[in-house]
Structure 1
Amino acid sequence: MDIRSRSESSRPDLVSLTEAADQFGVSVKTLRRRIADGTIHGYRVGRLIRVDLDELHDRLLVEIPSVR
């Protein structure tokens, strides 16, 4: 599939590890560990590694159940 033919909504919102770490309040090392253990996907762009913000919202943030 040609990347130019994909719709804008299907493109991942890729950001640097530093940007993602700042946004989620975690370390870059934590994101690297999550990529290594398969919790999240990393995308290589040349020598740079990027992550998808939408995927981080879905997989990195886990709701803590409350007891009532």
Structure 2
Amino acid sequence: MAVQIRPDKRGLRLASLADAAEQLGISVKTLRRRISDGTVRGYRVGRLIRVDPDELRERLVSEIPSAK
């Protein structure tokens, strides 16, 4: 399934919670918790909540250092 990302008036690319969660392999509930605790910013568009996929990757995805 292709994730639809639409830029808003400020140039933000916003995605639905379901699309963003699927893309990262997490649940929508986890994504809502991260918005609630301030780890990720959510944007209200009417009654809908959207997130910036680029911000999600920056804040939720981290590299695991390899031990050599």
What range describes the TM-score normalised by the shorter chain of this pair? 0.7 to 0.9
Larger radius of gyration: 1
Q: Mapping of 1:2-21 within 5 angstroms?
A: 11-21=11-21
TM-score, normalised with respect to structure 1? 0.82
Query: After TM superposition, which residue ranges in structure 1, 4 or more long, deviate above 4 angstroms?
Result: none
Deviation (angstroms), 1:64? 1.2
TM-score, normalised with respect to structure 2? 0.82
Q: Show structure 2 runs of 5+ residues with no match.
A: 1-7
| One-letter identity of the residue aligned with 1:60 | L
CA RMSD of aligned residues (A): 1.5
Greater helix proportion = 1
| 1:32-57 superposed Cα distances (whole Å, 9 cap, x missing partner) | 00001111000000110000011011
**Partners of 1:18 and 1:39 in 2: how far apart?**
18
Greater RCO (Cα-Cα under 8 Å, separation 6 or more): 1
Deviation (angstroms), 1:65? 1.4
Q: Show structure 1 runs of 5+ residues with no match.
A: none
